[in-house]
Amino acid sequence: MTVVLSVKNVSKTFRRRTVLNDVSFDVRRGEAVAVVGENGAGKTTLLRICAGLLAAESGTVARSERVAYCPQEPGLIDQLTADEHLRYVGAGLGLSATAARGRGAALFNWLRFPSDETGTVRELSMGTKQKINLALALLADAPLILLDEPYQGFDRGTYDNFWNHIADWRAAGAGVVVVTHMLAELHRVDRVLELRTGGSWALNGAERGVLR
Protein backbone atom coordinates (compact mmCIF):
# COMPACT_ATOMS: atom_id res chain seq x y z
CA MET A 1 0.00 0.00 0.00
CA THR A 2 1.22 3.48 -0.85
CA VAL A 3 2.25 5.60 2.11
CA VAL A 4 0.31 8.90 2.16
CA LEU A 5 1.74 10.22 5.44
CA SER A 6 5.10 9.52 6.97
CA VAL A 7 6.01 11.10 10.30
CA LYS A 8 9.59 10.50 11.47
CA ASN A 9 10.93 11.47 14.89
CA VAL A 10 8.79 14.58 15.23
CA SER A 11 9.24 16.58 18.43
CA LYS A 12 7.57 19.76 19.60
CA THR A 13 7.80 21.82 22.77
CA PHE A 14 5.78 24.82 23.88
CA ARG A 15 7.47 27.08 26.43
CA ARG A 16 9.87 24.32 27.50
CA ARG A 17 6.97 21.84 27.87
CA THR A 18 7.49 18.81 25.68
CA VAL A 19 4.27 18.03 23.83
CA LEU A 20 5.56 15.55 21.24
CA ASN A 21 8.72 13.54 21.72
CA ASP A 22 10.19 11.67 18.76
CA VAL A 23 6.82 10.60 17.33
CA SER A 24 7.00 8.33 14.29
CA PHE A 25 4.27 6.59 12.31
CA ASP A 26 3.12 6.00 8.74
CA VAL A 27 -0.34 6.03 7.24
CA ARG A 28 -1.05 4.10 4.05
CA ARG A 29 -3.82 4.26 1.53
CA GLY A 30 -6.89 2.49 2.88
CA GLU A 31 -5.75 2.77 6.48
CA ALA A 32 -7.34 4.64 9.39
CA VAL A 33 -5.38 5.76 12.43
CA ALA A 34 -7.01 7.24 15.54
CA VAL A 35 -5.06 9.70 17.67
CA VAL A 36 -6.15 9.64 21.31
CA GLY A 37 -4.92 11.20 24.52
CA GLU A 38 -6.00 13.51 27.28
CA ASN A 39 -6.44 17.25 26.84
CA GLY A 40 -3.14 18.97 26.11
CA ALA A 41 -1.41 15.74 25.06
CA GLY A 42 -0.57 17.20 21.64
CA LYS A 43 -3.22 15.64 19.36
CA THR A 44 -4.14 18.87 17.58
CA THR A 45 -0.48 19.93 17.48
CA LEU A 46 0.45 16.66 15.77
CA LEU A 47 -2.32 17.00 13.21
CA ARG A 48 -1.32 20.60 12.44
CA ILE A 49 2.28 19.51 11.95
CA CYS A 50 1.13 16.74 9.60
CA ALA A 51 -0.92 19.25 7.59
CA GLY A 52 2.03 21.67 7.41
CA LEU A 53 0.35 24.38 9.47
CA LEU A 54 2.84 24.19 12.31
CA ALA A 55 6.59 23.57 12.27
CA ALA A 56 8.09 20.69 14.21
CA GLU A 57 11.28 21.40 16.15
CA SER A 58 12.86 18.25 14.86
CA GLY A 59 11.91 15.34 12.66
CA THR A 60 10.33 15.21 9.23
CA VAL A 61 6.88 14.93 7.73
CA ALA A 62 6.22 13.64 4.24
CA ARG A 63 2.67 13.58 2.96
CA SER A 64 0.61 13.53 -0.19
CA GLU A 65 0.58 16.76 -2.15
CA ARG A 66 -3.10 17.28 -1.49
CA VAL A 67 -4.53 16.93 2.00
CA ALA A 68 -8.01 17.26 3.51
CA TYR A 69 -7.69 18.92 6.90
CA CYS A 70 -10.69 19.49 9.14
CA PRO A 71 -9.87 21.66 12.17
CA GLN A 72 -11.63 21.25 15.50
CA GLU A 73 -12.96 24.82 15.40
CA PRO A 74 -14.86 25.53 12.18
CA GLY A 75 -12.69 27.82 10.06
CA LEU A 76 -15.52 29.74 8.44
CA ILE A 77 -16.46 33.32 7.60
CA ASP A 78 -19.56 34.42 9.54
CA GLN A 79 -21.25 36.43 6.81
CA LEU A 80 -20.86 33.94 3.96
CA THR A 81 -23.31 31.15 3.11
CA ALA A 82 -22.41 27.47 2.78
CA ASP A 83 -22.59 27.78 -1.00
CA GLU A 84 -20.19 30.75 -0.98
CA HIS A 85 -17.76 28.81 1.19
CA LEU A 86 -17.80 25.96 -1.32
CA ARG A 87 -17.03 28.36 -4.18
CA TYR A 88 -14.33 30.17 -2.17
CA VAL A 89 -12.42 27.03 -1.14
CA GLY A 90 -13.15 25.51 -4.55
CA ALA A 91 -11.42 28.44 -6.26
CA GLY A 92 -8.24 27.58 -4.34
CA LEU A 93 -8.56 23.96 -5.44
CA GLY A 94 -8.91 25.07 -9.05
CA LEU A 95 -12.58 24.06 -9.25
CA SER A 96 -15.14 26.05 -11.18
CA ALA A 97 -18.15 27.30 -9.20
CA THR A 98 -20.27 24.57 -10.79
CA ALA A 99 -17.78 21.82 -9.95
CA ALA A 100 -17.39 23.06 -6.36
CA ARG A 101 -21.17 23.17 -5.92
CA GLY A 102 -21.57 19.70 -7.44
CA ARG A 103 -18.95 18.11 -5.23
CA GLY A 104 -20.23 20.08 -2.22
CA ALA A 105 -23.83 18.99 -2.84
CA ALA A 106 -22.83 15.33 -2.63
CA LEU A 107 -20.95 15.96 0.61
CA PHE A 108 -23.82 17.98 2.09
CA ASN A 109 -26.25 15.23 1.14
CA TRP A 110 -24.14 12.67 2.97
CA LEU A 111 -23.83 14.98 5.99
CA ARG A 112 -27.62 15.58 6.01
CA PHE A 113 -27.01 19.29 5.58
CA PRO A 114 -30.41 20.92 4.93
CA SER A 115 -30.56 21.51 1.18
CA ASP A 116 -32.78 24.58 1.61
CA GLU A 117 -30.33 26.28 3.96
CA THR A 118 -29.32 29.59 2.38
CA GLY A 119 -28.51 31.61 5.50
CA THR A 120 -25.07 32.87 6.44
CA VAL A 121 -22.87 30.83 8.75
CA ARG A 122 -23.59 33.24 11.59
CA GLU A 123 -27.22 32.09 11.65
CA LEU A 124 -26.42 28.37 11.81
CA SER A 125 -26.17 25.99 14.76
CA MET A 126 -22.81 24.63 15.91
CA GLY A 127 -23.55 21.21 14.42
CA THR A 128 -24.51 22.68 11.05
CA LYS A 129 -21.33 24.80 11.00
CA GLN A 130 -19.35 21.67 11.75
CA LYS A 131 -20.94 19.95 8.75
CA ILE A 132 -19.76 22.79 6.49
CA ASN A 133 -16.34 22.57 8.15
CA LEU A 134 -16.07 18.87 7.30
CA ALA A 135 -17.50 19.26 3.80
CA LEU A 136 -14.96 21.99 2.96
CA ALA A 137 -12.11 19.75 4.10
CA LEU A 138 -13.37 16.84 1.99
CA LEU A 139 -13.87 19.07 -1.05
CA ALA A 140 -10.18 18.51 -1.81
CA ASP A 141 -10.83 14.82 -2.63
CA ALA A 142 -7.40 14.17 -1.15
CA PRO A 143 -5.71 10.81 -0.55
CA LEU A 144 -4.91 11.89 3.03
CA ILE A 145 -7.70 12.99 5.39
CA LEU A 146 -6.79 14.63 8.71
CA LEU A 147 -9.76 15.09 11.04
CA ASP A 148 -9.58 16.85 14.40
CA GLU A 149 -12.72 15.77 16.28
CA PRO A 150 -14.91 16.83 13.38
CA TYR A 151 -18.19 15.52 14.76
CA GLN A 152 -18.76 17.96 17.64
CA GLY A 153 -22.35 19.14 17.57
CA PHE A 154 -23.44 16.42 15.13
CA ASP A 155 -26.82 14.82 15.74
CA ARG A 156 -26.82 11.09 16.44
CA GLY A 157 -27.58 10.04 12.86
CA THR A 158 -24.84 12.16 11.33
CA TYR A 159 -22.41 11.01 14.02
CA ASP A 160 -23.04 7.33 13.21
CA ASN A 161 -22.89 8.13 9.54
CA PHE A 162 -19.51 9.81 10.03
CA TRP A 163 -17.91 6.70 11.52
CA ASN A 164 -19.49 4.52 8.86
CA HIS A 165 -18.02 6.79 6.26
CA ILE A 166 -14.49 6.32 7.52
CA ALA A 167 -14.81 2.77 6.19
CA ASP A 168 -15.97 4.17 2.83
CA TRP A 169 -12.98 6.52 2.61
CA ARG A 170 -10.62 3.66 3.43
CA ALA A 171 -12.26 1.53 0.75
CA ALA A 172 -11.87 4.41 -1.69
CA GLY A 173 -8.13 4.43 -1.01
CA ALA A 174 -7.70 7.32 1.38
CA GLY A 175 -5.52 7.29 4.47
CA VAL A 176 -7.42 8.72 7.44
CA VAL A 177 -6.09 10.18 10.69
CA VAL A 178 -8.80 11.09 13.17
CA VAL A 179 -8.32 12.73 16.54
CA THR A 180 -10.96 11.42 18.90
CA HIS A 181 -11.98 11.00 22.52
CA MET A 182 -14.57 8.39 21.56
CA LEU A 183 -12.77 5.26 22.70
CA ALA A 184 -15.86 3.14 21.97
CA GLU A 185 -15.33 3.74 18.25
CA LEU A 186 -11.71 2.58 18.11
CA HIS A 187 -12.70 -0.80 16.65
CA ARG A 188 -13.42 1.10 13.44
CA VAL A 189 -9.75 2.05 12.87
CA ASP A 190 -6.64 0.03 12.07
CA ARG A 191 -4.28 1.51 14.61
CA VAL A 192 -4.38 3.84 17.57
CA LEU A 193 -1.71 6.40 18.34
CA GLU A 194 -1.92 7.28 22.00
CA LEU A 195 -0.27 10.54 23.04
CA ARG A 196 0.48 11.10 26.69
CA THR A 197 1.17 14.26 28.63
CA GLY A 198 4.92 14.87 28.67
CA GLY A 199 5.44 13.78 25.08
CA SER A 200 5.57 10.00 25.34
CA TRP A 201 3.44 7.97 22.94
CA ALA A 202 2.46 4.48 21.86
CA LEU A 203 1.19 3.06 18.60
CA ASN A 204 -1.12 0.10 19.02
CA GLY A 205 -3.28 -2.10 16.90
CA ALA A 206 -6.95 -1.60 17.68
CA GLU A 207 -8.30 -5.02 16.85
CA ARG A 208 -10.16 -5.22 20.12
CA GLY A 209 -10.74 -1.52 20.45
CA VAL A 210 -8.71 -1.54 23.65
CA LEU A 211 -5.52 0.35 24.30
CA ARG A 212 -2.70 -1.61 25.77
Partner 1 sequence: MSVRRVAAVAMMHARDLSRRRVALALLILLPIALYLAAELGPQDPATAELQAQNPGEPSADSAWILTTAGIGPLWSVATATLFVILGSRRVDQRLLLAGFRSTDLLVGRMGTVLGLGAIITPLFTALIWMMREVDVGLLVASIGLLVIVAVGHGVVIAALVRDEMEGVLAIIGVTGVQMMIVGQAWLPMWGASELLLRAGGLSGTAEPVTAVLHAFAYTAALVGVGAVAWARKVRLRPVTRMPVGAMADSRSSGSSG
Footprint on this chain of partner 1 (rule: CB under 8 A): 1-4, 6, 28-30, 49-55, 60-67, 69, 71, 73, 75-80, 84, 87-94, 120, 136-137, 139-144, 169, 172-174
* Residue closer to partner 1, measured from CB, 80 or 183: 80
* Residue closer to partner 1, measured from CB, 134 or 189: 134
Q: How far is the CB of 149 from partner 1 (least distance, A)?
A: 16
User: Residue 170 in 3-state DSSP?
Assistant: helix
* Residue closer to partner 1, measured from CB, 129 or 188: 129
Rounded (5°) CA angle 103-107-113: 130
Q: How far is the CB of 89 from partner 1 (least distance, A)?
A: 5
Contacts of 93 (CB under 8 A, 6+ apart): 100, 139, 140
Q: How far is the CB of 25 from partner 1 (least distance, A)?
A: 15
How far is Cα 43 from Cα 172, in angstroms, rounded to an integer? 25
Q: How far is the CB of 145 from partner 1 (least distance, A)?
A: 8
- Give 63's Cβ-side CA count (13 Å radius): 27
Question: What are the CA-CA distances from residue 133 to residues 30, 36, 101, 137, 194 (Å)?
Answer: 23, 21, 15, 6, 25
Q: How far is the CB of 63 from partner 1 (least distance, A)?
A: 6
Kindly report the number of other CB atoms within 10 A of residue 111's CB atom: 20
